[in-house]
Structure 1
Amino acid sequence: NKQYRRHSRAVGRPFGKKQKRSRRKKGIKKLCTYFFEMDVSVIIPTLNEEKNIEVCLKSVIAQETDVKYEIIVCDGKREDKTFEISKKYADKVILSDVRSIGLQRNRGANSAAGKYFLFVDADTILPKDYVEWGMNKFNSDSNMLGFCAGFKFSNPNPKMVFTEKLLCSWFDFNDKIDFPTLLGFNTFVTADAFKISGGFRDVPLEDADFARRLHKMGKTCFFTDNFVITSPRRLDEMGLLFSLKYYFELELSTRYPNLKDILSSTSYVEYRPDEEKLHQAFINISTYTNNSAELTDIMKDYIRKKADKFTEELRQQFNETNVWAKKTNDQAIENIIVVSQSISYITSRS
């Protein structure tokens, strides 16, 4: 019965009925967890997310599936009501002494009982079929170790839609050329592969670092047949130009793994390369099949084509003028130049 299957409801709590947790119910829950294997552990790292966490958790609870799953929130020490809100919905709420999104994910994984781990950020909303869809992906391909879905921004104005389309298309393109992308705000992975890989590390671009290591172990994918809704706050904080610059430099750092050691940032801030490490990272750049010049040319050509396509689609969708379309397209081309200059600068230092 699906009404009894949704996350901890498998242990006997009727769907939608509000009751306080008694000792007896906790005992029943532990007993049932012992007898019934958990399929999926949904792990959510948080830090002062009281404005977002409830909507996120409700989307996880609302999954339409017979898959047995639990919800684990790992909070980076509360300064707001994130902890209290999470306690109302999650099966486990853990307080982490370390404020690190990667290490908090690991902490949640250490307490997880599922055979699969689904990592979701607090500002992300899952579609109702996400868990079912994800399990079908694993069941249909025994070689699959991990994957993520595409994304749409929760504020669908023309600028945001243009950016999400451009980025999702770029990640899909990378996937087709065997270049891994796993977005930390929605990553589904087998528990065994996660443990063998060592999980997330406390490094800049921790999701790109994890994607690279997991891809070395086996198959990973970026799928575009399903989408999560995520907050555009990073884009708002960084601006469109730097957001594109961030993601394309992320691709470069993944292609050349040593570059991650150059970055002094921990998440979504501008990079400050160390000159000596830059030299070491690219000293053998000519030995790579795809050098930086080729990467830049591919990127520029790809974005030009996609920018033309998306601006026309969005002009019609939002009933925008030709002037808006031209301005948006010109901005995308300008972004290409800035990103190219950034990549050229980094590689020139070698």
Structure 2
Amino acid sequence: MPVALLKLPFWLKKHLFINKLFVDLSEQQIKDLQLKIKNVQHPKPEVSIVIPAWNEENNIFRTLSSLSFTNTQRKIEIVVINNNSTDKTQQVLDTLGVKSYFEPKQGITFARQLGLEKAKGKYHLCADSDTFYPPSWIDAMVKPLENDDNIVGVYGRYAFIPENSYERIFFWMYERMAGIIIRLRKSRREHINFLGFNMGFIAEIGLANGGFKVKEVRKFDNAIDSDYFVDESEDGRMAVNLMKTGKLKLISTPKARVFTSSRRLIAEGGIVKAFKFRFKLHTKRISEYLTGKKI
């Protein structure tokens, strides 16, 4: 097993701000972030990156840091939807000079829908406030939408940031299993692969086909086996809506692989419990993934 697979990539390290809350940042660090974010924003964007946030004052500045280091030549905007946060998320956004809108209706569906309605770009990329994006992410996600008229939505792979470095091997195993499941679902149940922290689509088609609206709104972490778990998701609904018009495409290049927090798996009891639960779940659903028919 290559050692590199068990380590976090070099590009990610500068954005971790290890053991620092937002209030711990130095004046120079804040100024650097403000400048980097300002330099990537454009008033007439081709690409919109939209991030929902609920009580993320100590996470979202890391995500914004990673996005500010994009190496794209495209005109972009970063838009954050503050979904009724009760902490200092809005203060962080204002301090860093990030365009934001307030959504008082609680639920990630409402936040993503408002972002879709407010964004100006032809291409709409969905990000999350606890996730890190590689420098080539924007171009890797947009090029297929730009080059093939049949493709209306794209989605990328992901990896987890462990709480402790020794746990990385367990997450690597989990990600390998996820990769197999993603490919099993591609032909018949591809909409399940469409995850809100690493996906994109043509904005006009997303809006015209129904957007992110669902019957039952889920909470932000939506931990499996919790009392508030909701099976229908706004990202899966968007995928189904997009496929009324065209095709989805998996972007498998490492340039589109994002690194996200492991807090959701921790909320489900840790990596081992989450792995066992999903292994049993996906084993039961293999027939559904291959045939498209629910048992």
Same fold (TM over 0.5): yes
- Of 185, 193, 201, which aligns to 1:174? 185
In 1, the alpha carbon distance for the partners of 2:260 and 2:143 equals 23
Q: Secondary structure at the match of 2:257?
A: strand
The alignment partner of 2:181 has SS state of helix
Structure showing greater Rg: 1
Whether 1:162 aligns to 2:173 is yes
1:148 aligns with 2:155: yes
1:243 deviates by 4.1
Name 1:242's counterpart in structure 2: 277
Determine the C-alpha separation between the residues in 2 that align with 1:18 and 1:179: 38
Alignment of 1:186-197 (within 5 A): 186-197=198-209
Matched residue, 2:127: 120
- Aligned mates of 1:87, 1:206 — CA distance in 2: 27
1:46 alignment counterpart: 53
Contact 1:43 1:117 in 2 (8 A): yes
Deviation at 1:91, TM superposition (A): 3.7
Distance (whole Å) between structure 1 residues aligned to residue 239 and residue 282 of structure 2? 14
Q: Which moved more, 1:198-207 or 1:122-131?
A: 198-207
2:201 maps to a residue whose letter is V
> Are positions 1:230 and 2:241 aligned together?
no
**What letter is aligned with 2:71?**
E
Q: Distance in 2 between matches of 1:252 and 1:184?
A: 25
Q: What is the percent sequence identity of the aligned residues?
A: 27
Secondary structure, in 3 states, of the residue corresponding to 1:157? Answer: helix
Of 72, 76, 97 in structure 1, the residue corresponding to residue 79 of structure 2 is 72
- What is the CA-CA distance between 1:234 and the residue it aligns to? 1.4
Q: Deviations over 1:247-299 (max 9, x none)?
A: 7789999x7xxxxxxxxxxxxxxxxxxxxxxxxxxxxxxxx96545xxxxxxx
TM-score (normalizing by structure 2): 0.70
Amino acid at match of 2:246: G
Deviation at 1:178, TM superposition (A): 6.7
Q: What's the secondary structure of 2:101's corresponding residue? A: strand
Structure-2 change in CA distance of 1:78 and 1:117 (3 Å): same
Letter in 1 for 2:159: K
Q: 2:245 aligns with which of 217, 220, 237?
A: 217
> Kindly tell me: are residues 245 and 68 of structure 1, through their superposed partners in 2, closer, same or farther at Cα, counting changes over 3 Å?
farther
Deviation at 1:140, TM superposition (A): 2.3
Task: Say what the alpha-carbon RMSD is for the aligned residues.
Answer: 2.9
Q: Secondary structure at the match of 1:212?
A: helix
Please name the residue that 1:322 is paired with: none
C-alpha contact (below 8 Å) 1:172/1:222 kept by paired residues: no
Distance 1:75 1:17, change over 3 A: closer
Contact 2:140 2:251 in 1 (8 A): no
Q: 1:289 to 1:124 in 2, by over 3 A?
A: closer
Q: Distance in 1 between matches of 2:280 and 2:241?
A: 23
Aligned 1:59-98 pairs, distance under 5 A: 59-89=66-96, 91-98=98-105
Q: Which AA in structure 1 matches 2:151?
A: M
Q: How many residues align?
A: 233
Gaps of 5+ in 2: 1-30, 217-231
| Alignment gaps of 5+ in structure 1 | 1-14, 20-24, 256-287, 293-346
